[in-house]
Amino acid sequence: ELGKQGKKALLLVWDNASWHISKQVIFWIKQYNREAKASGGVRILSGLLPKRSPWLNPIEPKWLHGKRAVIPAQGLLSAKELESRVCAYYACPKLEPLAQPLS
């Protein structure tokens, strides 16, 4: 969609959550950007918020309240159950995941 709008890059600002800075995610972004550059697609430029500065991330309080509302005190939820609870809490529609090409 961004490419259709003439955009060249997506700026992604993340906190330092372990899944944001994992080797797997960093590798995937680098690989994706190589392919995007070769094909003229939209690249992903990621930047991290400074560590220990939740006040710079205005979504933090919303995540905290949402997490407390959907996670049970004990036990784990299946991915489908967690998705249903999150969508119900935030009153958002459940959308299908984006298709990812398999390499």
Give the model confidence (pLDDT) of 49-97 as tens digits.
887 777 777 777 777 888 888 888 788 889 899 999 999 998 999 888 7
Residues 62 and 36 in one domain: no
Q: E-strand spans in 1-103?
A: 9-14, 43-48
Residue 86: how many other CB atoms lie within 10 Å: 17
For residue 18, tell me if it sits in a domain.
yes
Task: Retrieve residue 29's tokens.
Answer: 């972004």
Domain membership flag for residue 31: yes
Same domain, 40 and 63: no
62 and 41 inside one domain: no
Domain count, the chain: 2
Residues 5 and 43 in one domain: yes
Is 73 strand, coil or helix? coil
Locus of tokens 């800075």: 21
- Specify the pLDDT at position 103: 57
Same domain, 22 and 41: yes
The Cα–Cα gap between 94 and 77 comes to 17
Alpha carbon of residue 31 to chain centroid: 17
Instruction: Give the model confidence (pLDDT) of 10-53 as tens digits.
Output: 998 887 778 888 899 999 999 999 999 999 999 999 988 887 77
Give yes or no: residues 1 and 47 share one domain: yes
Same domain membership, residue 71 and residue 33 = no
**Segments forming the whole domain that contains residue 72:** 58-96
How confident is the model at residue 10, as a pLDDT? 93
CA-CA distance, 86 to 68, in Å (whole number)? 11
Bridge partners (DSSP) of residue 46 are 12
Q: Do 4 and 47 belong together in one domain?
A: yes
Is the pTM higher than 0.75? The answer reads no
